């Protein structure tokens, strides 16, 4: 009985790891990041990969990147009233890019103005 448990336990553990790589969160974490702008502004940078799996000018790949952005905003509870993409551009050659991403989206949160209840 103990021998069976010793054999089965690592197999169960490894099967859980295999399923993790198929999750949408794993794909989002591997191919994108959400970071505070380095220039001190109130904007947020969404950084994403573009390549053979997600070509830069492919509408389906762009829709996937926007889903990643929206998932990041939801998970981090940022921009609850929505967002605007101010700019989409490729990373510049000498720009700091430790994640080796291809695209930068400059994002601004939409601010909700409360109605005056006089």
On whether the pTM is more than 0.85, the answer is no
**Which residues, 6 or more positions from 92, have their beta carbon under 8 angstroms from its beta carbon?**
none
Q: 12 or 109: which carries more pLDDT confidence?
A: 109
Count of domains forming the chain: 1
In Å, what is the CA distance from 30 to each residue of 1, 10, 34, 66?
Answer: 40, 25, 12, 15
Residue of 84, 85, 86, 79 lying closest to 112 (CA atoms):
79
Q: Is residue 102 domain-resident?
A: yes
Q: Tell me, what's the pLDDT at 23?
A: 67
Q: Is residue 69 domain-resident?
A: yes
Q: Is residue 9 domain-resident?
A: no
Domain extent, residue 32, equals 24-109
Q: Tell me, what's the pLDDT at 18?
A: 46
Q: Tell me, what's the pLDDT at 41?
A: 78
Q: Is residue 85 domain-resident?
A: yes
* 38 and 104 Cβ atoms separated by less than 8 Å: no
Q: Is residue 116 domain-resident?
A: no
Q: Is residue 13 domain-resident?
A: no
Q: CA angle, 55 as apex, 49 and 56 as ends, to 5°? A: 70
């Amino acid at each position: 009985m103990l021998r069976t448990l010793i054999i089965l336990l690592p197999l169960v553990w490894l099967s859980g790891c295999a399923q993790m790589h198929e999750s949408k969160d794993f794909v989002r974490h591997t191919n994108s990041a959400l970071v505070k702008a380095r220039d001190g502004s109130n904007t947020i940078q969404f950084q994403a990969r573009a390549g053979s799996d997600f070509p830069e000018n492919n509408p389906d790949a762009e829709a996937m990147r926007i889903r990643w952005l929206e998932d990041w905003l939801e998970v981090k509870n940022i921009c609850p009233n929505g967002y605007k993409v101010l700019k989409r551009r490729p990373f510049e050659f000498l720009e700091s890019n430790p994640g080796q991403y291809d695209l930068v989206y400059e994002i601004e949160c939409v601010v909700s103005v409360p109605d005056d209840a006089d």
